Structure 1
Amino acid sequence: MIALDIRRGQLLDRLQELDSRLHGIEAELDSPHSKDWEDAAVEREGEEVLEGLGQAGQEEIRRIRAALQRMREGEYGYCVQCGTEVAEDRLNLLPATPFCASCAAKQG
Structure 2
Amino acid sequence: MNYDELKAELEERRAQMHARLSSIKRDVTQEHSGDSAEQAQERENDEVVDAIGNETRQSLHDIQVALDKIAEGTYGECEKCGEDIGEGRLQVLPEAALCVKCAE
- Please tell me the TM-score bracket, short chain as reference: over 0.9
Deviation at 1:11, TM superposition (A): 0.2
Alignment of 1:34-45 (within 5 A): 34-45=33-44
Q: For 1:18 and 1:36, how far apart are their aligned partners in 2? A: 33
TM-score between the two structures when normalised by the length of structure 1: 0.92
Counterpart AA for 1:7: L
SS at match of 2:70: helix
Q: Which moved more, 1:78-87 or 1:25-34?
A: 78-87
TM-score between the two structures when normalised by the length of structure 2: 0.96
* Percent sequence identity over aligned pairs: 34
Aligned counterpart, 1:92: 91
1:59 aligns with 2:65: no
Structure 1: which 5+ runs fail to align?
Answer: none
Highest relative contact order (Cα 8 Å, sep 6+), 1 or 2?
Answer: 2
Deviation at 1:85, TM superposition (A): 0.8
1:14 aligns with 2:13: yes
Alignment: residue pair count: 104
RMSD: 0.8
Deviation at 1:4, TM superposition (A): 1.1
Deviations 1:29-75 (A, max 9, x none): 00110010000001111111100000000000010010011111101
Counterpart AA for 1:45: E
Counterpart AA for 1:15: R
Q: For 2:71 and 2:52, how far apart are their aligned partners in 1? A: 29
Runs of 4+ in 1 over 2 A off after TM superposition: none
Q: For 1:93 and 1:48, how far apart are their aligned partners in 2? A: 30
Counterpart AA for 2:6: R
